[in-house]
Homo-oligomer: A and B are copies of this chain.
Amino acid sequence: MLGIFDSGIGGLTVVKELLRRHPQAGFVYLGDTARTPYGNKSPETIRRYAIEDARFLADKGATTILVACNTVSAVAMDELRSAFSNIKFFEVITPAITSAIGKKIGVIGTRATIGSGVYEHRLKERDSSIKVISQACPLFVPLVEENWMDKSETKRIARAYLEPIRQQQVDSLILGCTHYPLLTEVIRSSLQKRVKIIDSPSALIDMVEREAGNALVDGKQEYYFTDPSALTDTIATRWLGKVIKGERATLA
């Protein structure tokens, strides 16, 4: 069974891409909305939370888990894999690294993801001549959760954040946060037209189809949140385009 978790609701962009391709796929989603966001917390705290999140999904029967959270993908995968040796984990960084093209690659994400240097490290491992231009964009998550995707203020903030990346004339830009695909249009309009935008949910589902196609079977679709609320249901319903009613998850 497929489990998917995120610090909050951002990972629903992974669900959205999964459902676009496999509308009947069975899964359990967990959003840790009682402690969201993870992006500005310390690696130790993020690792502890990630283990608790995965344990919840393991207890629900998950054998394949998609870590739909860049912050966890950046700092906690070793801990997750050693704590749950029977579970196959996918994270959102490797697929994006694989999809990026060119010698100059931009990366944007939360402060924790960018601070970890994981994208830069992994890209240079692939090819040491790649130049990486990184930028933390901590206001993007609250802007998306405010549904301010189309506001002129959001465009201005995006332009301010992305200016150093635009000046470097990158070939690809990795959206290193699961919320960011919802800002794709604003981001695209702040950069040169030829820049390839790498959307990690899409790259992730490509990889799951290739490497764990047997996990993509029809079944029940369940949504759990550590702090379910009307607001969470509203945002999930708006993003996924169907009525979502989250259940309460209590983590051990």
Cβ contacts A14-39/B at 8 Å (1 or 0 each): 00000000000000000001110000
Known: A153-B157, A160-B153. A42 touches B139 (CB 8 A): no
Q: Report, as a range, how many residues of chain A touch the other chain.
A: 20 to 34
Within 8 A of B (CB), among A34-62: 34-35, 40-42, 45
Q: Is B138 in contact with A146, judged by CB distance below 8 angstroms?
A: yes
A77 to chain B, nearest CB (A): 20
Shortest beta-carbon distance from A68 to chain B in Å: 19
User: CA–CA, A151 to B152, complex, Å?
Assistant: 15
Q: Which residues of A contact B (CB under 8 A)?
A: 33-35, 40-42, 45, 111, 138-139, 141-143, 145-146, 148, 151-153, 156-157, 160, 227-229, 231
- Listed from nearest, the 6 A-B pairs whose CB atoms lie closest are A142-B142, A42-B229, A45-B227, A35-B35, A153-B157, A153-B156
